Amino acid sequence: MGAAPAHATFEDGRRAYDRADYTSAYREWRPLADGGDAATQFLVGFMHERGQGVPPDPAEAVAWYRRAALQGDVHAQFRLGFLHAYGRGVDRDDVQAADWYGRAAAQGNRAAQAALDELRAEGRLAGPGGSREALLLRGAAGRGGAAAQYQLALRYATGEGVPQDAEQAAHWYQQAAEQGLAPAQYQIGLRYANGDGVTKDYAEAVKWYRRAAEQGVAFAQFNLGVRYANGQGVERDPVQAYQWFSVAAQSLLGKEADTARQARDSIKAQLTPEQLARGEEMVRSWRAKPEAPGAPSATPRR
């Protein structure tokens, strides 16, 4: 019983629109759009863009298009690409334009594919920055996806699919790190330690190494041990250095494990019996503490 009135309302709106009675069409369609129907969300957005039955409002159009586009409406995806490409209702953003055009093109929309090709032909997506994977990652990263932020940072760090950019790499690593992603915490700690894309700051490096180390990242544990051994960014503490070198040695492999054991043994020789006993107890009682359920804690290799 409930579906018929909704269908009738949509068709009533279509008939009103076809006879240019835009006010009536909008009145029929708006409740459906508010209820989450993607097709009518697109149509309501289109009417806001064109000023049909309502005052023209590109920003409002963008809001409705986005709601429909996120549900997979191909027409809304295309219009979002267009508005981003020409800065109507939103700031001009070629990456966002390409992202939405690309989503529509992936559904077989030829106009979207042509528009995407035109962006490239105009040099607006020239070079490696125009790779489809990088554009999709940028969109997901901008929407707050920690895994996408981390992957995008990796690409900026290596120049894979985007121009190599240390500052952008540091930015995206930090975004992911702040959400609790352990490998990103280790990577941003490295950058603060080395002044890579950020101002060199040992104290900030220690902060991020510690968060990653507590989650189980062995390289972060080793580097935190180095900071405690040398008093860089933190007061020198050979007991803490011993703990972190020992814990790291349990997870690292091959030459990296050998290096951690050598560092541990070097510090061990500096400890009093009481300090050594305390350090051994800290090692025995240590357990990884993930910051978020399911957060990856494996040692990152790059």
What is the phi/psi pair of residue 141, to 5°?
-65, -40
Whether the predicted pLDDT of 244 surpasses 90: yes
**C-beta of residue 171 within 8 angstroms of C-beta of residue 187:** no
pLDDT band at 302 (very low <50, low <70, confident <90, very high): very low
pLDDT of residue 213: 92
- Please, are residues 48 and 60 in contact by the beta-carbon 8 Å criterion? yes
Average pLDDT of the chain, as a whole number? 84
Residue found by looking up tokens 């359920």 in the block: 293
- The reported pTM is 0.56
Q: Tens digit of pLDDT for each residue in 90-138?
A: 888 877 888 888 888 878 888 888 887 787 666 666 444 445 666 677 7
Q: Are 290 and 215 in contact (CB under 8 A)?
A: yes
Q: 269-294 burial, b if ≥16 CB within 10 A, otherwise e?
A: eebeeebbeebbebbeebeeeeeeee
